[in-house]
Amino acid sequence: MKNQPIECTDLPATRPGTTRLRLRGPAQPGWRIPGARTAALLTLLAAATLLQGCGALRGLAGNGSAAEDGEDAEQAAAVQASEAPLSFTVEVRSANSGIASHLEKHMDIQRYTRFPDLRATEFNRLLADADTNARDLLAALGYFNPELTLRVEDAPADSAAPRRIVIEVEPGEQTTVAGHRIGFAEPMNSDPSAARQRQRVERGWSLKDDTPFTQSEWSSAKSAGLRVLQRDRYPTARIADSQATVDADANRATLRVDYDAGPPYRFGTVELQGVKRYDPEGIKNIARIPTGSDYSEEALLDAQQRLASSGYFDAAFLMLDTENSDPDNATVIAQLREAKYQKLVFGVGISTDAGLRLSVDHTHNKMWPLGWRAVNQIALDANTQALSTKWTAMPHASGWAWYTGASIERAEYGDYKANSLSLVGGRTKSVGHIDRSYYLQYDMSKTEGSDAPGSSSSLLANYAWTGRYFNNKTNPTSGYGLGAEVGAGFTLTPQREPFARARLRALRFWPLGQRNEMGRRSRLALRGEAGAIIAKDDVEVPVTLLFLTGGDTTVRGYSYESIGTRSQGGKLYGGRYMTVGSIEWQRPITLFGNATDWEHATFVDVGTVSDETSDVTLYTGVGTGIRWNSPVGPMQADVAYGIKKQQVRLHLRMGFNF
């Protein structure tokens, strides 16, 4: 008799977060059901058994002490079983090594390999269950017509177990997608403004026609479409119905999913919870929820990040009230835990360039007399001793905030020691992916030494813009960033002359190849930076505004800021023109066939600093390194060879910053 199609339907759940699976197919007496029909029938029986088990567990849950006693007994039995000798081992043989590895890892029978005093009847029952379990696992991978052979063999003399279960698997042809249909409920289905979002769901559907069908890919495809809806306009979207109909004879699957997006939501008023110390209106201006705009998960997370990083709060959590709000004016609830007025932080660090580093940071969130937030810092290392302060006001409704700051520093600039003073004041704004600021800056520096250039000062009007378009803020794998700083002004001493200064930077991640088991793939990281000072040849610009490069984040293989120009005495000094470029191949590391959080990198860095565009000396560094994708960002260790100086250097860095 010909196999009948199997319909797998995800039915509406009895409670949120659960689904039910229904298998359809005629069952007639006297059938000798091969392959796929056996899997379907046994799956149905297993589901019934599991439902009975769930009922029993609910009964136990009614008696708290009985449930706790049962858990203790299970834990004790698990410990005893883990210490018992092996009763048998399991070996899966298949021409497809991936399938063999998958079955060996996930088959239920592996839990009983150390079961003590295993009787013959129990062992035979395990063999029967193993056949069913293997077929279920293969069906989840899209193989509905496998050929399985189970047998028991005496284990080799050097084996720790007396016997071995051998499972030979011929998976057969993998089921592929014959067709799929994606439906949307009203009002979204006929809403012209939702057309682009519907198209994103359809374009992003991963189970295209003629691609292999697996249960995990089927679940992932449905969930990915749902996330597209929930991220923008439709936070209450859900899967109304879905069905995968599998024709086991033809090894083809027809898919259908229907989404109920619910009503579109718009941002309404912001409700602050936990604000006592600080100005509520100022806090709302920091969050900058776009009231009246369509709901966006990204906009909500950006607002939450701004509040969390503002320094006014120890914790910040934002959510949209979808239960008690009008969708056209949905309340945003901000649950906040305020930070204290003052905080003192002591820091100790070490770097390959400057050695031991000590710092003291003092923060006052409402400094007298302006009530602005002040961040004061003392930083000391072998090359630099600095004292700085920065005061920032609460932002206005437009998002712009006034700020001012000052710093006094004694540091090495090339082969010279220099004392410097910097004063700055202006306005800044951070919205979404873009940071902007315009400010007036005074710089004064004085170099020390017999052939030192001397002292100079300047006044610059500057504008800075940074755009970050990465897929992840702490550990990006794709996207790009752009930054620009431009300024124009005058030198004040030793002569008054006009000059201009500009600095540009860019970073691009370029994904390559296919994704691995953890969803990552190799990529190219392209980085570039350029700077220029436009002035007459005899104009003395403060040394703090000149360019030096080299080190962990610029040209690896060279020490920090060791690439520059040379003074008349042959000493290293900052230059007026700077260019840096880098290309890096980043590749995820797979260990014993399993994806890890580690990556390997190979790179080439090139940089130059000069006073004349016609007189350029290139400094090249090549090397390799490893990366660990930690929760707070990448930690990297690189070994680089500086070709110009013929030296090897170790470079350590933590976190991502652009």
DSSP string, 116-145: TT--HHHHHHHHHHHHHHHHHHHHHTT--S
- Calculate the alpha carbon distances from 183 to 196, 213, 238, 361, 421 in Å: 14, 20, 12, 56, 65
Please write down the long-range contacts of 339-346, taking CB distance under 8 Å and 24 or more positions apart.
Answer: 339/311, 339/312, 339/313, 339/314, 339/365, 340/365, 341/277, 341/365, 341/366
Three-state DSSP state, 155: coil
Rounded Cα–Cα distance for residues 428 and 321 (Å): 31
Q: Does residue 389 sit in helix, strand or coil?
A: strand
Residue 396 makes CB contacts below 8 A (sequence gap 6+) with 285
In degrees rounded to 5, what are phi and psi of residue 449? 135, 160
pLDDT of 567 > 70? The answer is yes
pLDDT over 70 at 52, yes or no: no
Cβ-proximal residues to 54 (8 Å cutoff; 6+ apart), any chain: none
pLDDT digits (tens, 9 = 90+) for 271-318: 999 999 999 999 999 999 999 999 999 999 989 999 998 999 999 999
Quote the pLDDT of residue 1: 35
CA distances from 426 to 402, 464, 467, 502, 584 (A): 6, 11, 19, 18, 37
**Section 31-41 average pLDDT:** 36
Q: What six digits make up the tokens of 9?
A: 């339907």
- pLDDT at position 11 is 36
**Number of continuous H segments (helices) and E segments (strands) in the chain:** 8, 29
Choice among 230-239, 348-357, 453-462 with the minimum mean pLDDT: 348-357
At 164, the pLDDT band (50, 70, 90 cuts) reads: confident
Helical (H) or strand (E) element with 302: helix 297-309
pLDDT of residue 180 exceeding 90: yes
Q: Which of 44-48, 101-105, 134-138, 573-577 has the lowest mean pLDDT?
A: 44-48
pLDDT of 3 higher than 90: no
What is the pLDDT at residue 115?
Answer: 81
Close Cβ partners of 384 (under 8 Å, ≥ 6 residues apart): 354, 409, 410, 411, 412
pLDDT single digits (tens) 616-639: 999 999 999 999 988 888 999 999
**Least-confidence region, from 2-16, 82-96, 250-264, 488-502:** 2-16
Reduced to 3 states (helix: H, G, I; strand: E, B; else coil), residue 293 is coil
- Cα 388 to Cα 193, 422, 442, 489, 548, distances in angstroms: 51, 9, 14, 23, 22
Is the whole model's pTM more than 0.85, yes or no?
no
Answer whether residue 75 shows pLDDT above 90. no
* pLDDT tops 70 at residue 466: yes
Would you call 357 exposed, middle or buried from its count of C-beta atoms within 10 A (0-12, 13-18, 19+)? middle
Residues 98, 102, 106: CA angle, nearest 5 degrees: 175
Classify 489 as helix, strand or coil.
strand
The confidence band for 473, taking pLDDT boundaries of 50, 70 and 90, is confident
Highest mean pLDDT among 72-81, 380-389, 497-506: 497-506
* Residue 210 scores a pLDDT above 90: yes
**369 prior amide bond cis, ω within 30:** yes
Classify burial at 621, counting beta carbons within 10 Å of its beta carbon; exposed 0-12, middle 13-18, buried 19 or more: buried
Strands 330-338 and 267-273: what pairing? parallel
Query: In this model, does residue 581 exceed pLDDT 70?
Result: yes
Are 365 and 278 in contact by the 8 Å Cβ rule? The answer is yes
Coil, strand, or helix at residue 48? helix
| pLDDT confidence band for 596 (50 / 70 / 90) | confident
Q: Which residues contact 145 (CB under 8 A, 6 or more apart)?
A: 34, 35, 36, 172, 173, 248, 251
Distance of CA 216 to the CA centre of its chain: 22
Q: How many CB atoms lie within 10 A of CB 625?
A: 21
Which contacts qualify for 155-162: CB closer than 8 Å, 24 or more apart?
A: 155/88, 155/89, 159/89, 160/85, 160/86, 160/89, 161/85, 161/86, 161/87, 161/88, 161/89, 161/113, 162/87, 162/88
Model confidence at 85, in pLDDT bands (50, 70, 90)?
confident
Mean pLDDT of 428-436: 89
The CA distance from 212 to 178, in Å, is: 10
pLDDT above 50: residue 22: no
Mean pLDDT, all residues of the chain: 85
Q: Specify the DSSP element, H or E, that contains 241.
A: strand 238-247
Phi, then psi, of 451 in degrees rounded to 5: -105, 25
Q: What is the DSSP letter of 339?
A: P
Cα–Cα distance for residue pair 506/657, rounded to 1 Å: 12
Calpha distance 493→452 (Å, rounded): 15
User: What span, in angstroms and rounded, lies between the C-alpha atoms of 633 and 655?
Assistant: 4
Residue for token pair 């009614």: 62
pLDDT > 80? residue 211: yes
Predicted confidence (pLDDT) per residue in 540-565, tens digit: 999 999 999 999 999 999 998 999 99
User: 267 or 64: whose pLDDT is higher?
Assistant: 267
Percentage of the chain surpassing pLDDT 70?
A: 86
Across 82-96, 318-332, 443-457, the highest mean pLDDT is recorded for 318-332
Whether 29 shows a pLDDT value over 80: the answer reads no
The pLDDT value given to residue 9: 42
Q: Assess whether pLDDT exceeds 70 at residue 69.
A: no
pLDDT at 70 over 90: no
471-497 per-residue burial string, b: 16 or more CB within 10 A, e: under 16: eeeebbbebbbbbebebebebbeeeee
Give the pLDDT score at 214: 92
Span 464-480, mean pLDDT? 93
* CA 579 to mean position of chain CA atoms: 30
Record the tokens describing residue 337, joined without a space. Answer: 């835990």
C-alpha pair distances (Å), 218 with each of 177, 206, 380:
10, 9, 57
Asked whether the CA dihedral 192, 198, 200, 203 is positive or negative, the reply is negative
When pLDDT is averaged across residues 59-71 and rounded to a whole number, the result is 46
Helix (H, G, I), strand (E, B) or coil at 435: strand
Give me the percent of the chain exceeding a pLDDT of 90: 65
Mean pLDDT, residues 417-433 taken together = 93
For residue 75, give the DSSP letter. Answer: H
- 333-361 pLDDT per residue, tens: 999 999 999 999 999 887 766 778 899 99
- Phi, psi (5° rounding) for residue 585? -100, 115
The identity of residue 299, as a single letter, is A
| CA neighbor of 471 nearest in space, from 433, 522, 429, 436 | 433
How do residues 495-526 score in pLDDT, each as one tens digit? 999 999 999 999 999 999 776 555 568 999 99
Task: Name the band, by pLDDT with cuts 50, 70 and 90, for residue 73.
Answer: low
184, pLDDT greater than 70? yes
| Nearest alpha carbon to residue 283 among 321, 318, 323, 235 | 318
- How high is the pLDDT of residue 67? 46
pLDDT of res. 518: 53
42 has a pLDDT exceeding 50: no
**Lowest-confidence region among 215-219, 412-416, 451-455, 462-466:** 451-455
Residue 284: enclosing H or E segment and its boundaries? Answer: helix 280-287
Burial 279-314 (b: 16+ CB within 10 A, else e): eeebbbbbbbbeeeeebbeebbebbbebbbebebbe
Contacts of 57 (CB under 8 A, 6+ apart): none
